[in-house]
Amino acid sequence: MNDAQYEKKFIDVNGIKTCYIEQGSGEPLILIHGGGAGANGYGNWFGCLPLFGKHFRTIAVDMVGFGGTDSPDPATFEYSQKSRYDHIAGFIKALGYKKASLVGNSMGGATAMGVAVEYPDLVDKLILMGSAGLNSEINAALQPVVGYDYTPEGMVRLIKSLANPDFPITDEMVQYRWKNSVDPKNKTSYAATMQWVRQQGGLFYPEEFIARVSQPTLVVNGKLDLVVPLESAYRFLELIKNSWGYIVPHCGHWAMIEYPSDFSAAVGSFVQSH
What's the number of CA atoms in the CB half-sphere (13 Å) around residue 54?
A: 11
Please tell me the total count of domains within the chain.
1
Task: Work out the average pLDDT over 119-141.
Answer: 90
Catalytic residue among 62, 225, 232, 264: 225
pLDDT, averaged across the chain: 95
Which amino acid, one-letter code, is at 2? N
Q: Where are the beta strands (DSSP E) in the chain?
A: 9-13, 16-23, 28-32, 57-61, 100-105, 123-129, 217-222, 243-248
Is residue 27 over pLDDT 80? yes
273 is catalytic: no
**Residue 110: which of 44, 63, 152, 71 has the closest Cα?**
63
The CATH code of the domain that includes 10 is 3.40.50.1820
What's the number of CA atoms in the CB half-sphere (13 Å) around residue 20?
A: 24
Is residue 10 over pLDDT 70? yes
pLDDT tens string 189-204: 999 998 998 888 888 9
- What residue numbers bound the domain in which 230 lies? 3-273
H helix or E strand, kind and range, residue 110: helix 107-118
Phi and psi angles of residue 143, each rounded to the nearest 5 degrees, phi first? -60, -40
Strands 16-23, 28-32: pairing is unpaired
Task: Please give the Cα distance from 140 to 149 (Å, whole number).
Answer: 16
pLDDT tens string 255-265: 999 999 999 99
pLDDT tens string 207-235: 999 999 999 999 999 999 999 999 999 99
Binned at pLDDT 50, 70 and 90, residue 137 comes out as low
**What pLDDT sits at residue 16?**
97
0.85 surpassed by pTM: yes
Task: Please give the Cα distance from 97 to 123 (Å, whole number).
Answer: 10
Count of other CB atoms within 10 angstroms of residue 230: 14
Phi and psi angles of residue 220, each rounded to the nearest 5 degrees, phi first? -110, 135
Look at 235 and 143; give whichever has higher pLDDT: 235
106 is catalytic: yes
**Cβ neighbours for 137, distance < 8 A, ≥ 6 positions apart:** 201, 202
Catalytic residue among 71, 106, 181, 232: 106
225 is catalytic: yes
Tell me the β-bridge partners of 104: 32, 128
